[in-house]
Amino acid sequence: MLLSYHECPSFNVCNCNLCPLDPYVDEKIGLKDDGKCRAQKPTRMKIGSKYPGLLKYQGLTGKEWAGFSRWSGLSEEEKKKVKNRLNRNLLQKRKQK
């Protein structure tokens, strides 16, 4: 049976125990020496979109999913305020360089 994480381009060389493409990721424990996921976020999201009922976070990490959920819950006005604040911060950082 082909599982979602088998579609990952790094599957054969990955040693990440907490794979965002694993449907049972919440039941696993990460160890100190575990590797990090090698797959890029867009790749994981593309694979995750194929398994909407299987992957709780749709290929995102728990932290990424929390941010996505928070962003999705904002009104358009709140999103605009956040974007403006980020743009101001970016401009300030560029001026400092």
pTM of the model: 0.75
Q: What is the pLDDT of residues 65-84, one digit of tens each?
A: 999 999 999 999 999 999 99
What are the boundaries of each domain within the chain? Answer: 4-96
How distant is the alpha carbon of residue 82 from its chain centre?
A: 20
Please say if the pLDDT value at position 20 is more than 90.
Answer: yes
Average pLDDT, rounded, for the chain: 90
Spell out the residues 6+ positions from residue 41 whose beta carbon is closer than 8 angstroms to its own. 60, 64
Nearest alpha-carbon partner for 62 in 79, 83, 82, 37: 37
Band of residue 1 on the pLDDT scale cut at 50, 70, 90:
low
For 26-35, the CB contacts below 8 A with 24+ separation are 26/56
Type and span of the H or E element at 87: helix 76-96
Does residue 21 or residue 3 have the better pLDDT?
21
